A and B are shown apart, each in its own frame.
Chain A
Amino acid sequence: MGRFIFRKSLYGLLVLWGVVTLVFAIFSINPGDPARMLLGQRVDEEALQAVNRELGLDLPIVHQYILYLNDISPVSIHNTADKNSRIYLDSQKYKTLVSVPLGSTSIAVKQPYLRRSYQSRKPVSEIISEALPGTALLAIVAICFALVVGVSIGVVTALYKDSFIDKFALFTAVLGMSTPSFFSAIIVSWLGGYLWAETMSLPMLPIVGLLIFALITWFGKGRKSLMEAFSAGLKGMLLGLGVHTLIWLFFGISSGGLGSFLFVSFPGTGLDMTGSMYGVDVFEGKFLALGNLILPVITLGIRPLAVVVQLTRNSMLDVLSQDYIRTARAKGLSQSRIVIKHALRNAMNPVITAVSGWFASMLAGAVFIEFVFNWKGLGLQVFQSLQTDDYPVVMGSVLVIAAIFVIINIFVDILYGWLDPRIRIK
């Protein structure tokens, strides 16, 4: 196992090196003008050149590339004599752990140095460590939401294949998958943070329909399962919605009169349309505002959720038809035990594959969602830095994201082995 992780980490370093090279290549093909971005449009040539010299942008691109590699490499070569050298071992820049002097140069083992932002002059590592937790929290909660809800729905639809619930869930899944996130973000934020923030007025007919149909089925003749009652309730809800829509189409509904009869009010969500992980109070300063998480998580989680439902359903159907499930039934195990102990674990492989890729890309920041909800995160940060040609921030963020990808990959490989002993790493 140790060897496996070591080997994968080496591959990971190669990947990171490739990423740096690629990003440098892209910037050199299409160079921006960071100095002008910094100083504005009306500035004289000398000032521009001074800034360029300071940022090292006057050097040939290959030279810049090597200097950057030297900065981010954990083991690097530095000058200890000349303070003006670009590789002078400056304790303000580099957090050196060990340095071995060799004449006027020295070889140092240090933390990777991601340089400073052109714009704010803050160290890039600081900028990233401010933005990453917000993104990470959002991604982790969203993916957990998608996994827990998605797998549950997927299992139910597989067990009740071709039933009404199955079809309803699949239709909803397709709907969820095909809604672009910038659109669903606006809808979710409008519904949850504005329309239903104070009071939630919902059409009454679907709710009444749901209750009546479910209760009649549950208490009606014969022994019925909870699932049948639920399925009947869903049908009742759809029927109610249909009737409601018809009334709306023919009569129109205003807030008074018929409207007050057709709508029923519930306490609202009490959520804000936008907001970050931390809120800022004028008097009390920074405070943790986890409620702000709910709406972006729903928006971000909808699409992976829809995918997880479909993958779990198909994979479960496949596993449930396997011979070893028949063996488990022949042992006299109960259906729930068969599903949980024997089927689910074998069905998780494709779900893990899809979700891990999705999760990794979520950690890279969900730009649209961070933008709509004004959630301070990495995606938003990269977006803004790209607009201002702030290369060190973009480069640093890309590197961190790539490193996260590598780590998640190693983790998922280990997880596969846990799920399926046949591919376990020796």
Chain B
Amino acid sequence: MTDSKPILSVKNLTLAFSDDGPPAVEGITFDLSEGEALGIVGESGSGKSLTSLAVMGLLPKQAIIRSGNIELNTGEESLELTETNEEDQQKLRGKAVAMVFQEPMTSLNPSHTCGRQVQEAIENHTELSGSEAKKRVIELFEDVLLPRPEEIYDSYPHQISGGQKQRVMIAMALSCDPKVIIADEPTTALDVTVQKQVLEILKNLCQKNNTALIFITHDLGVVADIASRVMVMYRGKVLESGPTDQIFHNPSEPYTKALIECRPRLDKNPKRLPVVADFLNQTEPKQDSERHFEEASREVLMSIQNLNVWYPKERNWLGKPKSYLKAVDDVSLEVFKGETLGLVGESGCGKSTLGKTLVRLLDPQSGQILFKGQDIAQLDERRIKPLRRSMQLIFQDPYASLNPRFTVEQTLTEPMVVHGVGSNRSERKQLISDTLDKVGLPQESLSKYPHQFSGGQRQRICIARALVLRPEFIVCDESVSALDVSVQAMVLNLLNDLKDELDLTYIFVSHDLSVVKYMSDRIAVMRSGKILELGSGEEVYKNPKTEYTKTLIASIPQV
């Protein structure tokens, strides 16, 4: 690092959402020198995004900067960002400091072409003419390794994949040669394989252009590769910061240790994942007993034969489908009682479609689903209803899958009423409070609404909703993908405890091989609607039979 003044220097930054309320971010101090990559790590609500928005001057209206300085040194001049007015900040945004956001799916304007959106940034900050700017955009698209840059220039965001969109966002951020790029969870919404490519592109281009990078994430594993320095944030404060090696190998704070440990690992099989609470309470995690996968009973719970689920791709003018997208293509599979079967693959491989079809939320085109010997593939809604009680689903997004106008009690009572579980109110109430105990939610939760809970707690509500019906078979569809790693560990532990206690059978759908391997007795790897390989977790991990599985394993960030 050079001795010259840092490019960005944040001192004692304190932000709050009201004049007298508690600060959301308190006393943040860090320096960033030219070409340096700083990782900011913390769980949601730790204030890491708010800090970066303050640097961009994009704080939400309600947020107030209570104290502190943000000094930006552009080379020619030194600016105090907390005192710059909106007009001058507009000139800096995109030009001196640029940002890559978390959600590539929604961060691009759906009604403009990708090329135009990048070109707009260039034309806004430079004097380049239209055709020169277009040339520059194509160059940038080549830099971020987009295939067929000319074509993508004229494509609308919905026509390209998530990874490609995030590359367009990176191209946009790089377009005016900024001094600093802030990447806020840029890969969280992406598949592991895509995540790896995007991270490499970001890292290489920042090194090439000598751009400083602030990389924000909840996942320590991702930071290891990209950042030279790491700052760990917890509840609005900086817990510790230091060189990446030191943070990973010799963390001083128990919270940091927890963040490193709670990620499921491919090489170990602890019985329980360590969680943050273990470390904060200083109770050394219970001895690392290996988790053993007993040979599951050979009793078949569900047998799937030649299952096809197709979506209509084109329709003729009478509305009859002409061609199909084969989301699940001739799949045969057996699920044994009491096991956890992992379904893994990239987005679009058909794993979620398969999961939803097994509980008949989707109707298969053809094939058989024998559940306890009865074919449910073609049963009509009236006849399948009694069976729904024993098959439940836990969805991906705990924020979207709970009705915001239902209290927890209403949410949990509804399925019981539908299926006639419990004969009267008091009996149902008893069942609900038992279930709440099981998923570790306090009894006071009953009268609260979903927005009053954190993401992890909401997922517990979703689990409780599935459990009140006392099912035998549960499909977890990306149930932990939207959660922070620290929360993910708690939910995974809970799922495993419940399985032992209630004798459940899981189908665990995820794009994250490390999570699937931790959870599952057997793993099925899916690609383009077909099952590529199926075997025990160890087997798939140690001797992958296909190239595709090897790529998946190689893409997982290693701590």
Contact = CB atoms under 8 A, between A and B. Distances in A.
B91 A332 contact: yes
Interface in A221-248: none
Given A332-B92, A332-B95, A326 B111 contact: no
Contacts of A334: 90
Given A329-B58, A332-B90, A323 B107 contact: yes
B28 interface: no
A7 interface: yes
B111 A327 contact: no
B56 interface: yes
A335 B170 CA distance: 23
B101 A332 contact: no
A327 B168 CA distance: 12
A421 B110 contact: yes
Contact of B158 (A329, A331, A421): A421
Interface in A293-331: 322-324, 326-331
A346 B157 CA distance: 14
A419 B156 CA distance: 12
Contact of B101 (A327, A333, A345, A419): A327
Interface in A318-365: 322-324, 326-334, 341-342, 345-346
Interface in B61-92: 90-92
B502 to A, nearest CB: 40
Nearest to B121: A331
Contact of B103 (A323, A331, A332, A342): A323
Contact of B99 (A322, A330, A342, A346): A330
A419 to B, nearest CB: 7
B493 to A, nearest CB: 33
B58 A330 contact: yes
Interface residues of A, number: 21
B107 A421 contact: no
Interface residues of B, number: 29
B125 A332 contact: yes
Nearest to B155: A421
A334 B91 CA distance: 9
A324 B121 contact: no
Contacts of B172: 327, 331
A345 B94 contact: no
B120 interface: yes
B124 A346 contact: no
A420 interface: yes
B9 to A, nearest CB: 21
Interface in B7-66: 56, 58
B109 A330 contact: no
A327 B107 contact: yes
Contact of A332 (B106, B121, B317): B121
Contacts of B158: 421-422
B160 to A, nearest CB: 12
Nearest to A321: B60
Contacts of A421: 110-111, 156, 158
Residue from A332, A341, A342, A345 having most chain B Cβ neighbours under 10 A: A332
Interface string B155-176: 0101000000000010010000
B58 A419 contact: no
Residue from A7, A345, A419 having most chain B Cβ neighbours under 10 A: A345
A331 B56 CA distance: 10
A235 B169 CA distance: 45
Residue from A326, A328, A330, A419 having most chain B Cβ neighbours under 10 A: A330
B111 A330 contact: no
A89 to B, nearest CB: 35
Contacts of A346: 109-111
A329 B93 contact: yes
Given A420-B110, A421-B111, A333 B169 contact: no
A334 B99 CA distance: 17
B156 A422 contact: yes
Residue from A322, A331, A333 having most chain B Cβ neighbours under 10 A: A331
Contact of B94 (A324, A331, A420): A331
Contacts of A331: 93-94, 120-121, 124, 172
Nearest to B110: A422
Given A7-B317, A332-B124, A332-B125, A327 B108 contact: yes
Interface in B105-137: 106-112, 117, 120-121, 124-125
A326 to B, nearest CB: 7
Contacts of B98: 330
Contacts, number: 68
B165 to A, nearest CB: 11
A328 B58 CA distance: 11
Nearest to A3: B317
Contacts of B107: 323-324, 326-327
Contact of A342 (B109, B121, B124, B125): B109
A285 B107 CA distance: 62
Contact of A324 (B56, B91, B95, B108): B108
A146 B227 CA distance: 55
A16 B120 CA distance: 47
A334 B124 CA distance: 9
A346 B169 CA distance: 20
A327 B169 contact: yes
Contacts of A324: 106-110
A342 B107 CA distance: 12
B101 A326 contact: yes
Interface string A383-419: 0000000000000000000000000000000000001
Contacts of B121: 331-332
Contacts of A422: 110, 156, 158
Nearest to A422: B158
A11 to B, nearest CB: 10
Contacts of A333: 90, 120, 124
A341 B117 CA distance: 11
Interface in B311-340: 317
A421 B95 CA distance: 29
A326 B92 CA distance: 15
Given A323-B107, A421-B111, A421-B158, A330 B94 contact: yes
Contacts of A345: 111
Contacts of B101: 323, 326-327, 330
A333 to B, nearest CB: 6
Contacts of A420: 110-111
A323 B106 contact: yes
A195 B107 CA distance: 55
A334 B110 CA distance: 19
A341 to B, nearest CB: 8
Contacts of A327: 101, 107-109, 117, 169, 172
A315 to B, nearest CB: 13
Nearest to B113: A421
A345 B117 CA distance: 14
Given A331-B120, A331-B124, A333-B124, A419 B106 contact: no
A345 B317 CA distance: 30
Nearest to B104: A323
Nearest to B125: A332
Interface in A134-189: none
A419 B93 contact: no
B180 to A, nearest CB: 12
22 contacts: A323-B101, A324-B110, A326-B58, A326-B107, A327-B101, A327-B107, A329-B58, A330-B93, A331-B121, A331-B172, A332-B90, A332-B91, A332-B92, A332-B121, A333-B124, A341-B120, A346-B109, A346-B111, A420-B111, A421-B111, A422-B156, A422-B158
Interface of B: 56, 58, 90-95, 98-99, 101, 103, 106-112, 117, 120-121, 124-125, 156, 158, 169, 172, 317
Given A327-B107, A332-B92, A419-B111, 8 more contacts: A324-B107, A324-B108, A330-B56, A330-B101, A333-B90, A334-B90, A420-B110, A422-B110
What 7 pairs across the A-B complex have the smallest Cβ distances? Answer: A332-B93, A332-B94, A323-B106, A331-B121, A324-B109, A331-B94, A421-B156
